[in-house]
Amino acid sequence: MTDRMPALAGLLCALILALVQALAPPVWRVRALDLLQLVMSPLETGAGRPEPAFAVTVVDIDRASLEAIGPWPWPRATMARLVAAVAEAGPASIGIDILFAEPDQRSPAALARQLAAAAQDPALAELALRLPDGDLLLADAVESAATVLGFVLDPDGTRDLPGPPFLVAGRPDLAGLWQSDGGTGPAPALAAAASGLGALSLPGDPDGRVRRVPLLVAAGPAVLPGLALETLRLAYGSAAYRLLALPHGTMSLEVGGQELPLPADGFLPLGPETEPEPHWLSARAVLAGEVDGLLGSIVLIGSSAPESGGLRATAFEPLSPSVGIHAQAIQQLLRGRVLLDTPFAHWLEPTAGLALAGLVILAALRLGPMPGLVVLAVLGLAWLGTAGTLLHWAGRLLDPAGPVLVATAAFAVTSVGALSLIRRRELHLRDSFGRRLHPAMVERLARSPERLKLEGERREVTVLATDLEDFTALTRRLAPADLIALLDRYLEGIVRIVVDHGGMIDKLVGDAVHAIFNAPLDLPDHHQRALTAATAILAWTERFRAEPAAQAVGFGRTRIGLESGVVVVGDVGLGTRLDYTAYGEAMNLAVRLEGQNKLLATSILIGPAAAAALGPDRLRPLGAHLVRGIERPLELFTPVEAGAPTQTAV
> How many Å apart are CA 98 and CA 128, to the nearest integer?
26
β-strand 241-245 against 251-255: which pairing, if any? antiparallel
Distance CA 640, CA 535 (A): 10
Average pLDDT over residues 112-133: 71
- Mean local confidence (pLDDT), 392-404: 88
Contact 464, 591 (CB under 8 A): no
Beta pairing partners, 389: none
Most confident of 281-290, 432-441, 495-504: 281-290
Please check the confidence at residue 268 and state whether its pLDDT lies above 80. Answer: yes
Question: 222-225 and 212-214: which strand pairing?
Answer: unpaired
As beta bridge partners, residue 580 has 571
Q: What is the pLDDT of residue 649?
A: 33
Element (H, E) at 381: helix 369-389
User: For 635-649, what is the mean pLDDT?
Assistant: 62
CB count in 10 Å sphere of residue 67: 11
How distant, in Å, are the alpha carbons of 168, 223, 294, 482, 620 from that of 165?
10, 9, 28, 112, 114
Averaged over 415-422, what is the pLDDT? 68
pLDDT mean over 82-110 = 90
Instruction: Supply the pLDDT for residue 20.
Output: 83
What's the distance, CA 270 to chain centroid?
A: 25
φ, ψ (nearest 5 deg) of residue 219: -115, 105
Question: Is the pLDDT confidence value at 117 over 50?
Answer: yes
C-alpha to C-alpha distance for 231 and 197, rounded to whole angstroms: 9
- Round the average pLDDT of the chain to a whole number and report it: 85
More confident residue, 286 or 422: 286
The pLDDT value recorded for residue 253 is 94
3-state secondary structure string across 260-326: EEECCCCEEECCCCCCCCCEEEEHHHHHCCCCCCCCCCEEEEECCCHHHCCEECECCCCCEEHHHHH
Query: Which stretch, 17-26, 91-100, 580-589, has highest mean pLDDT?
Result: 91-100
Phi, psi of 612 (to 5 degrees): -60, -35
pLDDT tier for residue 424 given thresholds of 50, 70 and 90: low
Report the chain's terminal Cα–Cα distance, integer Å. 43
| Cα gap 13→489, rounded to integer Å | 54
Q: Which residues pair with 638 in a beta bridge?
A: 620
Q: What is the pLDDT of residue 648?
A: 34
Burial class of residue 175, CB neighbours in 10 A (0-12, 13-18, 19+): exposed
**In this structure, what are the phi and psi dihedrals at residue 439, rounded to the nearest 5 degrees?**
-55, -35
Longest dimension (CA), the chain: 150
Question: 375-391 pLDDT, tens per residue?
Answer: 999 999 999 999 989 88
Q: What is the pLDDT of residue 116?
A: 67
Confidence (pLDDT) at 140: 94
Stretch 387-410: mean pLDDT = 88
Give the H or E element holding residue 39. helix 26-44
Q: Is 113 helix (H, G, I), strand (E, B) or coil?
A: helix
Q: Of 27, 625, 45, whose CA–CA distance to 335 is shortest?
A: 45
**Number of Cβ atoms within 10 Å of the Cβ of 110:** 20
Residue 465: the pLDDT is 94
Omega into 400 within 30° of 0, i.e. cis? no
Provide mean pLDDT across the span 568-574.
68
Burial class (CB in 10 A: 0-12, 13-18, 19+), 489: middle
Query: Which of 274-278, 322-326, 335-339, 585-589 comes out lowest in average pLDDT?
Result: 274-278
Percent of residues, the chain, with pLDDT higher than 70:
87
Instruction: Give the contacts of 78 (CB within 8 A, at least 6 positions apart).
Output: 69, 70
Q: Determine the Cα angle at 256 with ends 254 and 261, to 5°.
A: 25
131 φ/ψ angles, rounded to the nearest 5 degrees: -90, 155
At 429-460, the pLDDT tens digits run: 555 554 544 454 455 544 555 545 556 688 89
